[in-house]
Amino acid sequence: MSALMVLFSSLPAAAQSIMPRAPEVAASSYILMDATTGHIIMEENADEALPPASLTKIMTAYIAEVEIDNGNMSYDDQAYISEKAWRTQGSKTFVDVGSYVRVEDLLRGIIIQSGNDASVAMAEHIAGSEEAFADLMNQHAQALGMDQSLFLNSSGLDTPSGDTNLMSARDLMKLARATIQEHPDHYDIYSEREFTFNGITQGNRNSLLFRDPSVDGMKTGWTDRAGYCLVASAERDGMRLISVVMGTASEEARAVETQKMLSYGFRFYETHKLYDVGDVINTARVWSGAENSVELGINEEVYITIPRGRADELTATLDSEEFIRGGFEAGTVLGSVNVTLDDEVLYSGDVVAIEGVERAGWLKRLIDALTLFIMGLFN
């Protein structure tokens, strides 16, 4: 393999600014992530399994969105409201027992109003019973890599036996990211400030929707055991962040602590695009090929998260095959590239042939073979 170091910019790097330390966050557990890259900007106790209260409903809504997008259910489907759903205590959408409610209205009731009755009704409509739906929730959690989550019901209320659902801040972050990226057609519901059902208008409990125009989701939660919790997502100048706080002291505290995290992430970090699909990063010599050279490039869009203003300090180290012989197709892996900042590897990926190169005829192959032989004698 041969190595080549590439500077991303020929401009002189600006004087490196001091990166302030992350703010103190008054929560039992928290995490902040760049949604595009998956880079964790700050975290504390993010893998501790804690009661999530109504943050549970993000999973309930996620499964409904999966079923809709898979064609197994539609917004216009009518869900029957059982006595169990109707009697469920806590926050309500105020569905009527024995009635039929559109799935779309139930979904809005779950997301905007945090309706426990709507959550049970959705669970029963999808899985036949809330117990069966809880098993489905655990299956989806496993598929999403949510290793510290356990679901017993669709609402997040404590069970009659005193048990409760469990989720970690990192698991909630994974679920929020999947909701945003996998089911974007439904995500706008999380930004709606109020919903009226059965003649009753209720506001969204996420107060950041009313304070910060960049915040467009997601969900609040509270029980005595869980404290005040909030999963939030915001987008500014093409950068999307997801934050999770669990176990804060009050409604105001969960908003303030979340705002601290979002402000820190947006002010001091940026989502930087490294490569587009097909970007050429070098040209390599081809031996015994119909062409004498091949362009080497990237076959995926690549984004990284870096301290704001330091893009000019990035370097890329390219390792490619020392002797590339003709007879390969476009997309063939011919090396790798590592992108670093301050000796930290931010991206490592394959380098591929932008175009294929056919094998040369016998005369050119003979000439190139002799050339390589001679080079080998004198190197």
> Nearest 5°: CA angle at 82, between 81 and 84?
125
The beta-carbon contacts of 360-368 under 8 Å, at least 24 apart in sequence, are: 360/288, 360/289, 360/290, 360/326, 364/288, 365/288, 368/287, 368/288
Residue 10 catalytic? no
Residue 17 catalytic? no
CB neighbour list of residue 129: distance below 8 Å, 6 or more residues apart: 123
Amino acid (1-letter code) at residue 85: A
CA distance 2 to 148: 43
CA torsion angle 96 97 102 105 (round to 10): 40
Residue 198 DSSP symbol:
T
Phi, psi of 236 (to 5 degrees): -135, 125
Residue 92 catalytic? no
Q: Identify the burial level of 166 via C-beta atoms within 10 angstroms of its C-beta, where 0-12 means exposed, 13-18 middle and 19 or more buried.
A: middle
- Residue 291 DSSP SS3: coil
Annotated catalytic residue within 54, 82, 119, 154: 54
* Alpha helices by DSSP H, the chain: 56-69, 83-87, 103-111, 116-127, 130-143, 169-182, 184-187, 208-211, 251-268, 362-378
- Residue 378 DSSP SS3: helix
Reported in sequence order, the residue ranges of the chain that DSSP labels E, i.e. its strands, are 2-7, 29-34, 40-44, 78-80, 100-102, 194-197, 200-203, 215-223, 227-236, 239-248, 269-275, 280-287, 293-297, 302-307, 315-320, 324-325, 333-341, 344-353
Annotated catalytic residue within 28, 82, 91, 114: 114
User: Does 260 carry a binding-site annotation?
Assistant: no
CA distance 116 to 302: 41
CA distance 333 to 207: 49
Annotated catalytic residue within 28, 29, 57, 243: 57
Known binding-site residues for substrate equal 219
Just list the catalytic residues.
Answer: 54, 57, 114
The binding site consists of 219
